[in-house]
A = this chain, B = another copy of it.
Amino acid sequence: MKQSLLFVPTLKEAPKDAEVRSHKLMSRAGLVKQVAAGIYSYLPLGYRVIKKIENIIREELDKIGSSELLMPALQPRDLWEESGRWDKYGPELMRLTDRKDREFCLGPTHEEIITQVVRDYLNSYKKLPLALYQIQTKFRDEMRPRFGLMRGREFIMKDAYSFHETEAELDEWYKKFAQAYTTIFARCGLATRIVSSDVGQIGGNEADEFMVMSEVGEDTITYCMSCSYAANQEHSGLEEGDKCPVCGGTIKTAKGIEVGNIFKLGTKYSESMNAKVINKDGQQVPVVMGCYGIGISRTLMASVEQHSSDDGIVWPDEIAPFKVHLIPINYDNDVQKEVTDTLYQELIESGIEVLLDDRKERAGVKFKDADLIGLPFRVIIGKDASDGKVEFVDRKQGEKTVLPVAEVINNI
């Protein structure tokens, strides 16, 4: 891809409201642009990363036998009346009326819709288990949108819903999802910790959150120094220094960014919305449900927060927007252009994603932007091009070497 056509509006200064490093860098590197409080456009570079995260999620969820669908953002009031949430949900729920004065909300979550989607079809235990997911834009009217994509009002989520005959089967799938989540986040360059949590407005019997430990996290995690106990402080109510409720060890606290959550919903929605099956004993019973969320825009932000310095991002391999940044010092110079264009074609033909900085900018500007953008490998084509040599930089190692052009691809 040629940078002149990609649209990467890098900035010298971060917006004034950007308090944390990831928010500053995502704005400065031209990944996102704010439209209104908590509402962003994902610019081409940022959206490439979003699509990579989405595809990792698809791969891992397809593996466990979950299928993708897409439900609407507009949800009619009558379905939320059935579940009893229309009156209970607070001002975070964005509501509107259509031209015929019928009421709708913009979905912050899809328990009602998924139950409407499956309930006519699910008549027998033979149709279970079933696990469906979607990747979709969600809406939540946060009182105080902040930290860029961390707490937005319009954001991208993966939400999944599973349906079962028994609690035991739900437990099995709950574990499958938890394992898939750990893999997904690891592939996005994030180490996560599973912590017990409250069920909140989703409801149900049990819930866990996937946390990325980070100073800028908005959640406080309480965890035991001696055993594997870990819980959101909202859930545990523990302080520093308290005793672990499991083993009596010492509780510590740390800040975390919640990137995923999983809930055992039980029969909360299937009872109120009448999603029932005939079980193996010939009885009609409500299906047992689970639900599973991943904040995709937040995962992007958490990854930038963890993989960056003040100068720029250092992308984890699997979600880097491109693998290689080709930077000719002077693209108007015939030799440099020739070497650059040949290498660009070779990289494309080898299936390596490459960004070519073909802009008419000074080398200093190009380097500064390249630092911000932070692709895993950088190839600088300068005066040595006439000797068939280029500078090769491994962003993670920070190593610079001068290489013959022919050896570039082998080093990637």
Contacts and interface: CB of A to CB of B under 8 A. Distances in A.
A76 B118 contact: no
A64 to B, nearest CB: 10
Interface residues of A, number: 60
A270 B91 CA distance: 36
Given A36-B76, A143-B99, A117 B43 contact: yes
B73 A73 contact: yes
Given A70-B47, A72-B35, A360-B126, A5 B65 contact: yes
Given A41-B71, A47-B70, 13 more contacts: A5-B67, A6-B67, A7-B121, A42-B70, A44-B132, A72-B137, A72-B154, A73-B139, A74-B153, A91-B99, A96-B106, A98-B153, A99-B143
Interface in A287-309: none
A50 interface: yes
For the residues of A in contact with B, the DSSP-based class is mixed
Nearest to A133: B44
A120 interface: yes
Contacts of A403: none
Given A132-B7, A141-B98, A141-B99, A116 B35 contact: yes
Interface in A225-280: none
Interface of A: 1-2, 4-7, 9, 33, 35-36, 39-44, 47-48, 50, 65-76, 79, 91-92, 94-96, 98-99, 102, 104, 106, 113, 116-118, 120-121, 126-127, 130-132, 137, 139, 141, 143, 153-154, 360
Nearest to A127: B4
A121 B12 CA distance: 12
A75 B127 CA distance: 41
Number of this chain's copies in the assembly equals: 2
Contacts of A106: 96, 106
Nearest to A142: B99
Given A7-B130, A69-B43, A35 B75 contact: yes
A360 B153 CA distance: 45
A69 B94 contact: no
Contact of A72 (B40, B47, B74, B116): B40
B69 A47 contact: yes
B132 A74 contact: no
Contact of A73 (B65, B71, B137): B137
A70 B35 CA distance: 12
